[in-house]
Structure 1
Amino acid sequence: MRGPTTFPAPPARRRSRRMDGEVVLVTGGSRGLGLRLAHEFGGRGASVAICARGRERLTRAVAELTSQGIDAQGVVCDVTVPEEVEVLPEEVVARFGRLDVLVLNAGIMRVGPWETLTEEHFAQALDSMFLGPLRLVRAAFDPLRESGGRIVTITSIGAYLSVPHLMPYTVAKHAEAALSESLAAESAGTGVRVTTVVPGLMRTGSHRGAVFDGSPEREYAWFALLAGLPLLSVGAGRAARRIADAVERRRGFLVLTPAARLGMAAHGLAPGLVQASMRLMGRVWPDIPSEPRELPGSEAARSLKGRAVGVVTFLNERAAHRLNQVSRTRQTRGVGARR
């Protein structure tokens, strides 16, 4: 039975004291929003533990954090493996002596027409973004209760608006959002507070780690374009600051972008109209080809041609390189994306 492998990092001088003495665990913390959150919490004085499946990226992320004076620990852990999840909080408490904030951020993303997907793809999404968080909350609840801690669930606007060609992701995120809001109610009186975060589009470079089905290059193009539009998306740094502020203030609910707030309001007031809009969107999305294929985002990016696409996706590509989304070695198998 494979358990987590830990890479301890030496203590370093903190740059702020707003969260001095607190310990934060971020799942999916080796890249993307998770890595940006680790920087943000560490910059506020917290000690930070990050977990991820990939040893190489995790090692780079811990080195990056410690170089900024953050007391950081990296733990190799797959949130879909119950045995690893069960001992993860123990590893963190053994290293730091406590646990104050648990950030449920790990996830995978598969983009494509639902007819090209299998039941296994849905099971993988639910395991990563519903059962994994549920198991980890169970394992971490006692140390969180002792510290009067917080649980932070990074859901998605996809939990409330079912965007075409993201069905496994939206189904799993819907379940994760329900889990988070249920935990907020169930944990009353325990001292543990729950913050449900609903991001809209974010420039985290997650398109590089997603898997694209059907017509991979065309699916990649629309996804990368939308995620990188400045007026519709938010940068990872700004998102991380707002999330950390919400944690410090013990807020229960946070929607990150104006577009996401508008979408949620529209769904609440006129769900039929929103559904009609999504149906229209589905009609203009890429059709199913005669020979569907599958490619990880890194491969789809290399296959995609077009100066216009490159210009519009520049901000997201820059985020991908800054947030450890681009592997130093060529990847031959796409397994999903951290947000």
Structure 2
Amino acid sequence: MSGWKAPVALVGARWALNKYRDRKRRPTPAERALDLAAWAGAGALLGVGASMVAENRRSERLNGRVAVVTGGTRGLGLQLAREFGAGGASVVVCGRSRDNLDQAVADLTGRGIDAHGVVCDVTDREQVRALIGETVERFGRLDIVVNNAGVMRVGPAEAMQDAHFTEAMDIMYRGPFNVAREALPHLRTTEGSLVNITSVGAYLTVPHLLPYSVAKHAWACLSEGLAAETGGTGVRVTTVVPGLMRTGSHRGVVFIGEPEREYAWFALLAGMPLLSTNADRAARRIATASARGQGFLVINPTTRIGMALHGLAPGTSQQLMRLTGRLLPSTPEHVSERTGNESGDSTMGRLAESVAALNERAVDRLNQDTRDRR
């Protein structure tokens, strides 16, 4: 009996038995407890069976497909490339650093994945055109494109320069725009998928992440607009809304103002299990949503709660964000700027890392430690 038929048959048998008992006599407390245990077991088996069916279908839908992942050299992008590759897809990853790109491709090919790397800055339309062209020339088709490339600076808005806002908009709005423009003609041919990794920051702006949130808001608007505009073309657009994820990204983030203090709160929150999501689980859910053609995906419950609160009571959520902003470090007289790898080399940073040990484990596994690279 296949993986999903056994649980269904068990549920049906329990239902018939309960109906028969109800006709004969009132069940005893022991029988009720037995029934409850049987239903719980059947539900668990049904869930496992459904998960197995979904996993098998995802593999079937990905087998032989070609996926492009921007920002695929580390973090969530690298894990997504692994996930698509594990499902049978050929994968093209792009990034701006050749060293990081070579390391990512070696990781993927070492897992038996047909992988290729292309140096590409998504803010440059010509480079994006070359990326898509090289992918189609090499593999003959294009089925999935994941807009994942991003940049994050953490610190008070007063400490940010105009160039930081421009950089964020270039990478996280114009970048996805360029990729979508070049990829959509090919995706129409294959009835493929465009996946946009936005953020809870696109819907609920968090203090000390203003350039990031502004750009992510524009990106989310672009994604939802493309989903509406491509109706009837065969292309499926998936808007993904992650919250905090344990990808080791705190090492690659740039911290501004008082870097050590900014690093401490960010690393601590990003590594807390109840607030953040494991990168492997997030990547699996995104790959499955892409294979199904799901239009909108919220990764974790805390993100869903935050979005719901802002939608139902925006004034309340705004007040909560104002309170949060008061608790975060203020702008110092002398503003400093350091990467996470540099900022974490302090007593406060090491303490935060020890508490958020789960996130630290993701650093090497997801290619985030850049201290020894150029």
Q: Is the TM value for this pair above 0.5?
A: yes
Cα distance in 1, alignment partners of residues 315 and 307 from structure 2: 13
Q: Structure 1 unaligned runs (5+)?
A: 1-15, 332-339
Label 1:147 to 1:18 Cα distance change in 2 as closer, same or farther (>3 A).
closer
- For residues 61-97 of structure 1, the C-alpha deviation after alignment (integer angstroms, 9 at most, x for no partner) is 1011011110001011011122211221001101111
Aligned match of 1:28:
71
Cα distance in 1, alignment partners of residues 326 and 349 from structure 2: 23
Alignment of 1:325-336 (within 5 A): 325-327=368-370, 329=372
Aligned match of 2:356:
313
Cα distance in 1, alignment partners of residues 243 and 269 from structure 2: 11
Cα distance in 2, alignment partners of residues 183 and 269 from structure 1: 26
Cα distance in 2, alignment partners of residues 142 and 307 from structure 1: 48
Aligned match of 1:219:
262
Are 2:246 and 2:359, in contact at CA under 8 Å, matched by a contact in 1?
yes
- For residues 103-151 of structure 1, the C-alpha deviation after alignment (integer angstroms, 9 at most, x for no partner) is 0000000000001111111010000000011011111111111100110
Alignment of 1:69-80 (within 5 A): 69-80=112-123
**Partner SS state of residue 80, structure 2:** helix
Cα distance in 1, alignment partners of residues 293 and 268 from structure 2: 34
Which of 331, 335, 350 matches 1:292? 335
Alignment of 1:270-285 (within 5 A): 270-285=313-328
Amino acid at match of 2:328: W
Residue 260 in 1 paired to residue 303 in 2? yes
Cα distance in 2, alignment partners of residues 247 and 287 from structure 1: 41
Label 1:187 to 1:306 Cα distance change in 2 as closer, same or farther (>3 A).
closer
Residue 48 in 1 paired to residue 117 in 2? no
Q: Which has the larger radius of gyration?
A: 2
Identity percentage of aligned residues: 61
Label 1:263 to 1:100 Cα distance change in 2 as closer, same or farther (>3 A).
same
Amino acid at match of 1:253: F
Aligned match of 1:98:
141
- For residues 266-314 of structure 1, the C-alpha deviation after alignment (integer angstroms, 9 at most, x for no partner) is 0111000000000000000001111111111111112344664232121
Which of 214, 218, 221 matches 1:178? 221
**Partner SS state of residue 302, structure 1:** coil
Are 1:87 and 1:139, in contact at CA under 8 Å, matched by a contact in 2?
no
- For residues 168-222 of structure 1, the C-alpha deviation after alignment (integer angstroms, 9 at most, x for no partner) is 0000000000000000001112111100000011000111111110000100111
Are 1:85 and 1:136, in contact at CA under 8 Å, matched by a contact in 2?
yes
Which of 77, 87, 109 matches 1:66? 109
The Cα shift of 1:327 comes to: 2.0
Label 1:306 to 1:141 Cα distance change in 2 as closer, same or farther (>3 A).
closer
Aligned match of 2:209:
166
Aligned match of 1:335:
none
The Cα shift of 1:328 comes to: 5.9
Cα distance in 2, alignment partners of residues 17 and 192 from structure 1: 19
Label 1:63 to 1:319 Cα distance change in 2 as closer, same or farther (>3 A).
same
Cα distance in 2, alignment partners of residues 135 and 330 from structure 1: 28
The Cα shift of 1:258 comes to: 0.3
Cα distance in 2, alignment partners of residues 153 and 325 from structure 1: 21
Q: TM (normalized to structure 1)?
A: 0.91
Are 2:268 and 2:352, in contact at CA under 8 Å, matched by a contact in 1?
yes
Amino acid at match of 2:85: G
Number of aligned residues: 316
**Partner SS state of residue 344, structure 2:** helix
Structure having the larger proportion of residues in helix: 2
Which of 234, 238, 248 matches 1:195? 238
Q: Structure 2 unaligned runs (5+)?
A: 1-58
